[in-house]
Amino acid sequence: MAVSSTQVQFDSLFGLFTYLAFAVGIVVFTFMIYLIVRYREKASSRQPKDTPILGKQPQSRGHVRTVLLTLTLSTIIIVPLIVGSFGAVDSLLSPPQQVCQGCAIEVTAHQFYWQFTYDNGTMPYNTNNILRVPMGQNIRLSVTSADVFHDFGIIGYDIKTDAIPGRTNIIWFYPDSPGNFTIQCFELCGSGHAFMKGTLMVMTYSSYRAWYNTTVVH
Amino acid sequence: MGEQLRAIARKWLYTTNHKEVGILYLITSIFLFVAAGVLALTMRTQLSAPGNTLLAADIYNQFVTVHGLLMIFWVLSPLAFGFANFIIPLQLGARDLAFPRLNAMSFWFFLFSGVMMILSFFFGAAPDLGWTLYSPQTATLFTPTIGFNLGAGALILMTVSITMSSVNFLVTMLKMRAPGLKLRYMSAFSWAILITIFMMLYAFPSFLAAVVLLYVDRAFGTVYFSSIQGGSLLWDNVFWFFGHPEVYIVLFPALGIIADVIPTFARRPLHGAKYVIGSMVVVAMLSFAVWGHHMFVTGIGIVSTKLYTVTTIAISLPFDVMIISLIETLGMSKLRLKAPALFALGAVANFIVGGITGVFLASVALDYSLRGTYFVVAHFHYLMVGASIIGLIGGLYYWFPKITGRMYNEKLAKIHFVISMIGFQILYFPMFILLDMPRRVVTYTPDTGWGLLNLTATLGGFIFGGAQLLLFYNLYRSSRVGPPSGPNPWEAWTLEWALPSPPPPHDFDVIPTFLADGSIRFGSGPGLPNGSSHSGEIGYPNGSSTHDGNSSLHFVNAKRPLFTASRRAQSLADSDGFRSIHLLPRFDYWKARKPSTG
């Protein structure tokens, strides 16, 4: 069950990579193991004619055809990977211009907590580390850092961006189902790094609105 | 007894002989491998169960950082360059590196910088922010300890050592090859080292600049990297411009060893040898154009991320050529599955897994999820441990007879191989499945469900680590009581195997000459050099001859006058390919031991 748009995208692309990886891996390993088993030294082994000997340059072996074949097959495999990646990154890096009220949130990373500021200027200190978002809306996060290099990642959403002082990186997603997800820092940022967690709370639109309206406007 | 010890200490402290320096490199890096490995096993123990409290977070962070720095800078490269020191002059037909004293100096810089890095633990705290040293956490504001300054100083000294070493090898390989030895006649290992040196020459200046500026930031309060205006990304760029070639710098020597070991044991030439070398050159050049994939989610813009995706995925093409050629070498062969061959093939297998998963990380879209997770950890350990370390261990077994003159215990070595490979897979494969778990966390909560996979990895870690005790025991014991190996136990073709095992201090009594067809001739006839055969049937016994029937061949590269006025000029002439040895045979030994460094 998909939980967000980004996760759907990740899963399909990761699936493509994984299928091709297994296909290539199985072919190459089979080839290698076959050759090892077939040509390991036995009593019946034939002495190769071109065995390199000390004091002589080894004979040249192999043909450019093999190289071209390898390169052609490899290119055929990597083209869909590049095309697929481009498609996914185009959508990941084109955040929607317009999002609903309460759906554009600033994320500021601190050693060692997350601070979420809503578009009405709300900075609910009592709910530190909890990011509430409505389901079924495009959510846009502007991520930055107040001190050192952090990385904002939502486990299960398959989405991440670096939180860098002096820079703002934008990511967006579309939550499909309600629930709680773990937000965690993915770049070593100091002694509290492992505990720099937060919660992404995906609420139904109506309960989100109810919560949003209770927040104090500064 | 005391006198004897002093003599031994003097020998190893004062040595400039490339073989002895090479042994010093090998032994030192093996000790540092154990040190960094113990750090790793302690971390794995900490992670074996959720909520474990064996290590405090700040200690764990220091372990993570020093483990990475030691393994990359003080284990992988020096282990490879221990072999290079010992073997490259032998393969080139040179009596030593171009600048033997500089070579000894590189070693001592390397040793003391490594000690300095370890000492940083005892000065407040060792560096504790990952081997990538991301800014601005490196600023004094966030990391006030003196230990970090010590670590940064160690990195500077280490870079000095690497720079001296690469210049030394560059001059040696380009200027001191035996007469007639063309670059294209060089073995895959020599080529790999040559390409590695070029990468070092272009990558390390960026690193040196970065670390010096970092040190200045900390010592004098400048704001090169701590500035909020782009300091973080500046570090990212200069660091990774170095950092990506660095991963090939630690990989290529092992690849070179593999590409020499597999043909030797398959009893057939390397398939498509020139394409393998060509692919290495392509990778080396392309490696300077892929660093952006380490910065995919820093927000460097959609066009550049796409470009880096293409270059990074494209760099897999030359690797495909290398791997397929290595595998095809086995075709129609007579494969002797001795320990060096097993380790070389094991390294190829791990390399395939590490390489394929590297393509995942080359995709900017997948990086939005995989960045900073254990998937990355698994990927690069498959390459750095699975391919580099396993390949270098293959090299240890391969050249052990040459270095010590004795044969290791083959059965123990095979057991070592099997346990190592199994332990390795149990250690690192589970990490591919932990693709949600952040790297470098000291602990995790039970509800994440990561406990079982981490426990498995820890078990694998102890199996892999424990297996290395077999290696150390085998090499230590065999170096004392192993049966004599003879000059060429593997029936290999490269030049070092023409010499006695271990080679005499001056290596060659007569500098070999390479003929136009690539065959090697020692003295007046083809065949083995003296030292291994005293019969005088071929070559010259012990350099006692002052006349060479084919001496004109030796002067092919001579660019200097035949008779030189001073020893200094004599030695310079030597490095230009002009071999004075036939005129001054008695200075052989003296020159090999105490050369002038011009």
Q: Tell me: the pLDDT tens digits for A93-121?
A: 888 888 888 899 999 999 999 999 888 87
pLDDT of residue A19 exceeding 60:
yes
The residue among A9, A27, A186 with the most chain B CBs within 10 A of its CB, best to mutate, is A186
pLDDT of residue B547 exceeding 50:
no
pLDDT of residue B418 exceeding 90:
yes
Instruction: Provide the percentage of residues in chain B whose pLDDT is more than 90.
Output: 81
CB contact (8 A) between residue A74 and residue B317: yes
Question: With contact defined as beta carbons under 8 Å apart, do B505 and B17 qualify?
Answer: yes
E strand or H helix that includes residue A180 = strand A179-185
Instruction: Provide the percentage of residues in chain A whose pLDDT is more than 70.
Output: 95
- The CA–CA distances, whole Å, from B573 to B29, B384, B553, B564, B565 equal 34, 40, 16, 8, 11
- Chain B residues whose CB is inside 8 A of the A66 CB are 271-272, 324-325, 328
Average pLDDT over residues B101-120: 96
Q: Would you call B320 an interface residue with chain A, using a CB distance cutoff of 8 Å?
A: yes
- Chain B residues whose CB is inside 8 A of the A23 CB are none
CB contact (8 A) between residue A29 and residue B352: yes
Q: What is the mean pLDDT of chain B?
A: 88
- Chain B residues whose CB is inside 8 A of the A15 CB are none
Q: Are strands A197-203 and A130-134 parallel, antiparallel or unpaired?
A: parallel
- pLDDT tens digits for A165-207? 999 999 999 999 999 999 999 999 999 999 999 999 999 999 9
Stretch 109-168 of chain B: residues touching chain A, C-beta under 8 Å: 128-130, 134-137, 142
Average pLDDT over residues B229-241: 94
Stretch 38-57 of chain B: residues touching chain A, C-beta under 8 Å: 56-57
- pLDDT tens digits for B322-364? 999 999 999 999 999 999 999 999 999 999 999 999 999 999 9
Dist CA B133 CA A211 (whole Å):
41
* Identity of the residue in A48, A52, A57 whose CB atom sits nearest the CB atom of B334: A48
CB contact (8 A) between residue A75 and residue B317: yes
CA A201 to chain CA mean position, Å: 21
Instruction: Give the pLDDT band of residue B270 (cuts 50, 70, 90).
Output: very high
Q: What is the DSSP letter of A173?
A: E
Average pLDDT over residues B412-420: 98
pLDDT of residue B582 exceeding 50:
no
pLDDT of residue B570 exceeding 60:
no
Stretch 240-269 of chain B: residues touching chain A, C-beta under 8 Å: 263-264, 266-269
pLDDT of residue B111 exceeding 80:
yes
- pLDDT tens digits for B6-27? 999 999 999 999 999 999 999 9
CB contact (8 A) between residue B438 and residue A184: yes
Q: Supply the pLDDT for residue A161.
A: 95
Question: With contact defined as beta carbons under 8 Å apart, do B263 and A52 qualify?
Answer: yes
The residue among B142, B237, B324, B442 with the most chain A CBs within 10 A of its CB, best to mutate, is B324
Q: Supply the pLDDT for residue A119.
A: 82
Q: Would you call B356 an interface residue with chain A, using a CB distance cutoff of 8 Å?
A: yes
Q: Supply the pLDDT for residue B592.
A: 44
Complex prediction ipTM: 0.96
Residues 6+ apart with CB under 8 A from A79: none
Residues 6+ apart with CB under 8 A from B83: B22, B26, B189, B253, B257, B392, B395, B399
Residue of B nearest to A23 (CA): B356
CB contact (8 A) between residue B365 and residue A9: yes
- The runs of H, that is alpha helices, within B329-450 are 339-362, 364-370, 374-381, 390-404, 410-433
CB contact (8 A) between residue A64 and residue B330: no
Q: Supply the pLDDT for residue A97.
A: 87
Dist CA A133 CA A144 (whole Å):
18
Instruction: Give the pLDDT band of residue B151 (cuts 50, 70, 90).
Output: very high
Average the pLDDT over each of B47-51, B216-220, B587-591 and give the range with the smallest value. B587-591
* Identity of the residue in B267, B325, B518 whose CB atom sits nearest the CB atom of A56: B518
Q: Counting runs of H as helices and runs of E as strands, what totals does chain B give? A: 20, 3
Over its C-alpha atoms, chain A yields an Rg (Å, rounded) of 26
Average pLDDT over residues B167-189: 94
Residue of B nearest to A70 (CA): B321
Question: With contact defined as beta carbons under 8 Å apart, do A149 and A163 qualify?
Answer: yes
- pLDDT tens digits for A27-61? 999 999 999 999 999 999 999 999 999 888 899 99
Q: Would you call B97 an interface residue with chain A, using a CB distance cutoff of 8 Å?
A: no
Q: Supply the pLDDT for residue B533.
A: 41
Average the pLDDT over each of A99-103, B370-374, B448-452 and give the range with the smallest value. A99-103
The residue among B46, B62, B297 with the most chain A CBs within 10 A of its CB, best to mutate, is B297
Average pLDDT over residues B407-424: 98
pLDDT of residue A126 exceeding 70:
no
- Chain A residues whose CB is inside 8 A of the B337 CB are 36, 40-41
B65/chain A closest Cα distance in angstroms: 10
- pLDDT tens digits for B205-225? 999 999 999 999 999 999 999
The residue among B264, B366, B491, B521 with the most chain A CBs within 10 A of its CB, best to mutate, is B366
Residue of B nearest to A46 (CA): B334
Q: Supply the pLDDT for residue A65.
A: 94
**Sign of torsion, CA B583 B588 B590 B595?**
positive
Average pLDDT over residues B248-257: 97
B95/chain A closest Cα distance in angstroms: 18
- Amino acid (1-letter code) at residue B474: N
- The CA–CA distances, whole Å, from B146 to A155, B95, B121, B186, B337 equal 36, 44, 10, 47, 51
Stretch 483-512 of chain B: residues touching chain A, C-beta under 8 Å: 488, 491-494, 497-498
Instruction: Give the pLDDT band of residue A217 (cuts 50, 70, 90).
Output: low
Residues 6+ apart with CB under 8 A from B115: none
* Identity of the residue in B263, B266, B440 whose CB atom sits nearest the CB atom of A188: B440
How is chain A split among helix, strand and coil, in percent rounded to 5?
35, 25, 35
Tracing tokens 């460097």 back to the chain, one arrives at: B300
- Chain B residues whose CB is inside 8 A of the A92 CB are 365, 368
CB contact (8 A) between residue B349 and residue A29: yes
Q: Supply the pLDDT for residue B565.
A: 37
- The CA–CA distances, whole Å, from A97 to A138, A170, A171, A175 equal 10, 11, 12, 17
A96/chain B closest Cα distance in angstroms: 15
CB contact (8 A) between residue A165 and residue B498: no
- The CA–CA distances, whole Å, from A178 to A142, A154, A203, A210 equal 22, 14, 5, 16
Of the candidates A135, A144, A126, A151, the residue with the CA atom closest to the CA atom of residue A102: A135
- pLDDT tens digits for B72-81? 999 999 999 9
CB contact (8 A) between residue B488 and residue A54: yes
Average pLDDT over residues B377-388: 97
Instruction: Give the pLDDT band of residue B124 (cuts 50, 70, 90).
Output: confident
pLDDT of residue B534 exceeding 50:
no
* Cβ contacts from A onto B, under 8 A: 291
- pLDDT tens digits for B298-323? 998 899 999 999 999 999 999 999 99
Average pLDDT over residues B521-528: 60
CB contact (8 A) between residue A70 and residue B324: yes
Dist CA B562 CA B572 (whole Å):
12
Omega of the bond prior to B502 within 30 degrees of 0, cis?
A: yes
Q: Supply the pLDDT for residue A101.
A: 87
Q: Supply the pLDDT for residue A55.
A: 83
Average pLDDT over residues B79-96: 96
Instruction: Provide the percentage of residues in chain B whose pLDDT is more than 70.
Output: 87
Residue of A nearest to B326 (CA): A32
- The CA–CA distances, whole Å, from B275 to B188, B199, B272, B324 equal 11, 19, 5, 11
A13/chain B closest Cα distance in angstroms: 7
- Chain B residues whose CB is inside 8 A of the A28 CB are 323-324, 327, 352
What is the model's pTM? 0.90
CB contact (8 A) between residue B228 and residue A166: yes
- Angle ∠(B91,B97,B100) on CA atoms, nearest 5: 150
* Identity of the residue in B275, B363, B498 whose CB atom sits nearest the CB atom of A81: B363
- The CA–CA distances, whole Å, from B371 to A66, A92, A186, B368 equal 35, 15, 8, 6
Residues 6+ apart with CB under 8 A from B89: B18, B95, B96, B97, B172, B176, B507
- Chain A residues whose CB is inside 8 A of the B324 CB are 28, 66, 70
Of the candidates B324, B188, B393, the residue with the CA atom closest to the CA atom of residue A52: B188
CB contact (8 A) between residue A169 and residue B366: no
Q: Supply the pLDDT for residue B522.
A: 78
Dist CA A180 CA A175 (whole Å):
11
How is chain B split among helix, strand and coil, in percent rounded to 5?
70, 0, 30
Q: Supply the pLDDT for residue B20.
A: 96
Stretch 167-186 of chain B: residues touching chain A, C-beta under 8 Å: 185
Q: Token pair for residue A139?
A: 């959510």
Q: Supply the pLDDT for residue B496.
A: 94
